Amino acid sequence: MIITIDFGGTNIKIGLVDQGKIVGRSNLPSYSDKGMIVRLSDVEQEIKVLLKRQGSSISDCSGLGIATPGLVDVENCVILSINEKYSDAVGFNFQDWAREAFSLPMVLENDARAALLGEIAYGVAEGEKDAVLLTFGTGIGTAVIMNGQVVRGKHSQAGILGGHFTTDVYGNECNCGNLGCLEAQAGHWALSYSVKQHPTYFNSVLSKCSSLGYSDIIEAAQQGDQVGVDVLEGLLNHWSAGIVNMIHAYDPETVILSGGLMKASDFIVPILRERVRQRSWTPWGDVKMVVANDPDVSVLLGLASLVCEE
């Protein structure tokens, strides 16, 4: 059995994985603006409770996997850089923690890479050797596998910065330091800014939403609200551009779409598929576009497959 932990912005997801199946799960609130390290003792407790509930113990476990946002040095199990939240975890020695808390070996990986590995090992892209994943959550995370090898690069940042490819050179300031990044234009955290910039914002149903999500904009657009229609059209162009950029950069056969936005996949994906088909340069044929079944599960399963490889 393998212990897996996914440090998300809202929840810390914990899973026990056995033979590629999740046999136990638990969620803790992340309080990520308070940091990651302060949460580790609660995580440790929760894992021990979860194991007990399963009638298992640490001695049944062979390893531990942790996924976090940001740039991760997989070889040394250290976070190199992370945007804003969880910044206390940069440089923290997770290996020492895992050894002291559980006496287990561990792996640390970027969350989008873990999600991609989960989809390749057990999910919608099982067995694919050339694929990219884009996950539309608070930010927009990406990951890449080429020739069957996960792309990490010299400084651990290759493949995961697709959310920070520029889609508007005159665009919004991003938390990474760049201007007009895909996620600064069309990520969840940037939505309210895009909506409020619209000239007729105050006539829109969206002016009454206290916290804006992807679904609010899609619903407003479907009801014919002009701000919703215009903002959604812009979002679809940025998302398509983001996918085309990933295709032009990494030559995949399959694009995997994941994250909260995919709750509206029936509506969104056919539009994205058509725009990407028209705009991408792939003379060999059309890139397949598939939707992840359960993004949370794919991160946990991906971590388990990494632990097994180690």
Our CB check for Zn ion shows the closer of 65 and 141 to be 141
Scanning 78-86, 114-122, 152-160, 173-181 for contacts with Zn ion by CB under 5 A, the matching segment is 173-181
Minimum CB distance to Zn ion, residue 123 (Å): 27
Minimum CB distance to Zn ion, residue 168 (Å): 12
Terminal CA-CA length for the chain: 14
Burial degree of 229 (CB within 10 A; 0-12, 13-18, 19+) = middle
176 binding Zn ion? (CB under 5 A):
yes
178 binding Zn ion? (CB under 5 A):
yes
Question: Are 168 and 183 spatial neighbours (Cβ–Cβ below 8 Å)?
Answer: no
Our CB check for Zn ion shows the closer of 180 and 295 to be 180
Our CB check for Zn ion shows the closer of 188 and 273 to be 188
**Residues near 197 by Cβ (< 8 Å), separated by ≥ 6?**
none
Site for Zn ion in 128-167 (CB under 5 A): 164
Q: Which of 12, 134, 181, 287 binds Zn ion (CB under 5 A)?
A: 181
Minimum CB distance to Zn ion, residue 33 (Å): 19
Question: What CA–CA distance (Å, rounded) separates 66 from 95?
Answer: 10
Q: How many residues touch Zn ion (CB under 5 A)?
A: 5
Minimum CB distance to Zn ion, residue 227 (Å): 25
Closest Cα to residue 72, out of 120, 101, 113, 14? 113
226 binding Zn ion? (CB under 5 A):
no
Handedness of CA 100, 102, 105, 106 (dihedral sign): negative
188 binding Zn ion? (CB under 5 A):
no
Minimum CB distance to Zn ion, residue 88 (Å): 21
Structure tokens at 149: 């090898």
Count of beta carbons in the 10 Å neighbourhood of residue 177: 9
Structure tokens at 16: 């026990």
Q: Phi and psi of 225, rounded to 5°?
A: -65, 125
Question: What CA–CA distance (Å, rounded) separates 123 from 22?
Answer: 13
Instruction: Give the number of residues written for the chain.
Output: 310
DSSP 96-109: HHHHHHH---EEEE
71 binding Zn ion? (CB under 5 A):
no
Minimum CB distance to Zn ion, residue 164 (Å): 4
Our CB check for Zn ion shows the closer of 181 and 206 to be 181
Q: Which of 36, 107, 174, 307 binds Zn ion (CB under 5 A)?
A: 174
Minimum CB distance to Zn ion, residue 9 (Å): 16
Our CB check for Zn ion shows the closer of 179 and 236 to be 179
Residues binding Zn ion (CB under 5 A): 164, 174, 176, 178, 181
